[in-house]
Chain A
């Protein structure tokens, strides 16, 4: 298995965290991982992104030129990375704030209304987790439980009460992607 994903959006949308949760979940499942935050010129545009590589072999280059999946949380991120996705790759678009569709016809594209899902759950902060739910359901590269484990690891005991709403967000995101998460 080899997942090479780019998570991109505005600073504050939790894109770095999405990548970290995925990397941690994949590590819990025994895979090799590397997480690389946006670094250098792309930070100037006010966008943040991170690259996550998940592999059964040791990760060689952690730099991702052609992602297997792009998770675009805002329009500039979609514009920037859309053409770099591998053929037959996956594209996750935050349809709450990105109005356009993909211009490519060789991708599996998923349009996820992250903000609406989060607002519906009464916790606007979990928009990124809804998107992660869609991603996990569509790629099946890690299990929902591993993401929950990763969340628990990240949140610690003090914020344990936030797990249920995050679990709901994962599921709603998965549903929006047309996948039912088990």
Chain B
């Protein structure tokens, strides 16, 4: 019998804690597959965030750190500077990267830090129970914007890919989504491109992945995929924002 599918070596064979319909599981697998395919696993060090992916260190089959909230790019900087030949990546959510950790991500890009950031944008704080994120859409209801995000009160959502693309040190910045198969395949290509950028020492690389949070959005997994398509992509356009 021919084996047509096998679990990637980049993931540890344990059940994950993510909710049904959550995009994290998909993106974990894409990252792991890319690391395996690029033969990087034995010299990869990952940095997990605070957020839903806090336990990512239990899933990725490589040396891992757990960073304080928002600080993954700083931790990755320390790890990379000690072992410049290692492949170092951060895996961060939108509260982590786009709120508390904006200084760290902006300056990692600004230094042209040779790391890769996988940024999961699901427009909400997941782990803490569905609070408003900087990426929450105007009108979107969350536990801290119960009547919907009011742009007069808290501004309009921040577009990190566009922002980071303006920084000289950024070498590859792309936004993708994981709401359908075509987009998932594009996401994997983007992740590969980002890791290639790092290993070619071109500078900072990030893939922003639009992802789903059915639990905190109050939707079924299928509805969540549709909402991402209908509401998120128009505000957060997909595509490559920086490539050198």
Direct contact of A and B (CB under 8 A): no
Residues of A within 8 A of B (CB): none
* B interface list, Cβ under 8 A from A: none
